[in-house]
């Protein structure tokens, strides 16, 4: 089974609107972390937001928030007030802290912000 | 600012030659560094895990003799693509653990390798 699943290969959003990028995960490790990275066309991987499996509240970082639904094993990224500079690939990732600490990446979602 | 620096960002080399890519952690000691390869429009593929002072652990299917990884210090890991061929052309990116804060991993800027 896939550890991280991103079902949206491509998404479009109007500038200034909010957009949700989906991510589901699969793990039996009770201690894990969920991450979102942004990859613009330049290639660098930019860390956006982190959610720990034991965190009670959803993580927020500026215009980014993570909608963490533990029972459903989902960790959707919400970008509010989209900007043209948000156009990029977005990767969801998971790290299992009790099982080797390896990172697992999803296949990514290409987001295009329309002016 | 960047916490992991990768160099060179772009390199073109002739087929049959070797090329070295450096990954440095800035202002922190990276006990573990990871090397990934990424094909166009695909996700990151973990190539190997590099621990300071010990041999790298390679993922299945990755040729350890072709992709030499050295983690000589707590701030530097290098990936050497030996006897490069055009099919080795790709985007290579490193990340470092032992991060300054939290449980995340920070990535270098990545290196575009073109073998001609």
Per-residue pLDDT of A30-66, as tens digits, reads 999 999 999 999 999 999 999 999 999 999 999 999 9
Confidence of residue B27 (pLDDT cuts 50, 70, 90): confident
- Which residues of chain B are at the A interface, by a Cβ-Cβ cutoff of 8 Å? 32, 34, 38, 41-44, 46, 49, 91, 93, 95, 97, 102-110, 112
Give dist(CA B47, CA B60) in Å, integer.
8
* CB contact (8 A) between residue A52 and residue B107: no
CB atoms within 10 A of CB A76: 19
CA distance B42 to chain A (A): 6
CB atoms within 10 A of CB A109: 21
Listed range (A5-14, A18-27, A76-85, A102-111) with the worst mean pLDDT: A102-111
List CB contacts (< 8 A) between B89 and chain A: none
Does the pLDDT value for residue A102 go beyond 90?
A: no
Give dist(CA B107, CA B110) in Å, integer.
8
Confidence of residue A12 (pLDDT cuts 50, 70, 90): very high
Instruction: Tell me which residues of chain A, numbers 65 to 104, contact chain B at a CB-CB cutoff of 8 Å.
Output: 91, 95, 97, 101-103
CA within 13 Å, CB half, B76: 7
User: Residue A26, SS3?
Assistant: coil
* CB contact (8 A) between residue A103 and residue B46: yes
* CB contact (8 A) between residue B43 and residue A44: no
Residue B35's DSSP bridge partners are: B48, B94
Give strand ranges (E) for A3-99. 4-5, 10-14, 19-21, 24-25, 32-39, 46-52, 60-61, 64-69, 74-79, 88-96
Model pLDDT, residue B85: 96
CA distance A112 to chain B (A): 14
CB atoms within 10 A of CB B106: 22
* Non-local CB neighbours of A28 within 8 Å, separated by 6+ positions: none
Average pLDDT over residues B3-15: 95
Give dist(CA A113, CA A84) in Å, integer.
5
Type and span of the H or E element at B45: strand B44-51
Confidence of residue B1 (pLDDT cuts 50, 70, 90): low
Does the pLDDT value for residue B101 go beyond 90?
A: no
Model pLDDT, residue B99: 56
Listed range (A82-86, B26-30, B105-109) with the worst mean pLDDT: B26-30
> What pLDDT, in 10s, does the model give residues B32-80?
899 999 998 899 999 999 888 888 999 999 999 999 999 888 899 999 9
Does the pLDDT value for residue A68 go beyond 70?
A: yes
Query: Which among A58, A100, A75, A47 is positioned nearest to B105, based on CA atoms?
Result: A47
Give dist(CA B104, CA B52) in Å, integer.
19
Model pLDDT, residue A44: 92
Query: Which among B115, B101, B108 is positioned nearest to B44, based on CA atoms?
Result: B108
Does the pLDDT value for residue B100 go beyond 60?
A: no
* Non-local CB neighbours of A34 within 8 Å, separated by 6+ positions: A23, A25, A50, A51, A52, A53, A66, A68, A75, A92, A93, A94
Give dist(CA A84, CA A107) in Å, integer.
22
Model pLDDT, residue A100: 72
B102 versus B57: which is more confidently predicted?
B57
């Amino acid at each position: 089974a896939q550890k991280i699943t991103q079902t949206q290969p491509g998404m479009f959003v109007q500038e200034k609107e909010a957009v949700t990028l989906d991510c589901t995960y699969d793990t039996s490790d009770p201690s894990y972390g969920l991450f979102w990275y942004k990859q613009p066309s330049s290639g660098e991987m930019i860390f956006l937001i982190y959610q720990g499996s034991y965190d009670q509240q959803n993580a927020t970082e500026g215009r980014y928030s993570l909608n963490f639904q533990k029972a459903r094993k989902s960790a959707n990224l919400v970008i509010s007030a989209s900007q043209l500079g948000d156009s990029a690939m977005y990767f969801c990732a998971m790290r299992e802290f009790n099982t080797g600490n390896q990172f697992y990446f999803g296949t990514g979602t290409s987001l295009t912000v329309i002016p | 600012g960047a916490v992991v620096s990768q160099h060179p960002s772009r390199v073109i080399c002739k087929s049959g030659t070797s090329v070295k890519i450096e990954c440095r952690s800035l202002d922190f000691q990276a006990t573990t560094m990871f090397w990934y390869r990424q094909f166009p429009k695909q996700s990151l593929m973990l190539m190997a895990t590099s621990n300071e002072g010990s041999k790298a652990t390679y993922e299945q299917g990755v040729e350890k003799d072709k992709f030499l990884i050295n983690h000589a210090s707590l701030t530097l890991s290098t990936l050497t693509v030996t006897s490069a061929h055009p099919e080795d052309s790709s985007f290579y990116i490193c990340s470092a653990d032992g991060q300054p804060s939290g449980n995340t991993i920070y990535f270098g800027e990545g290196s575009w390798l073109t073998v001609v």
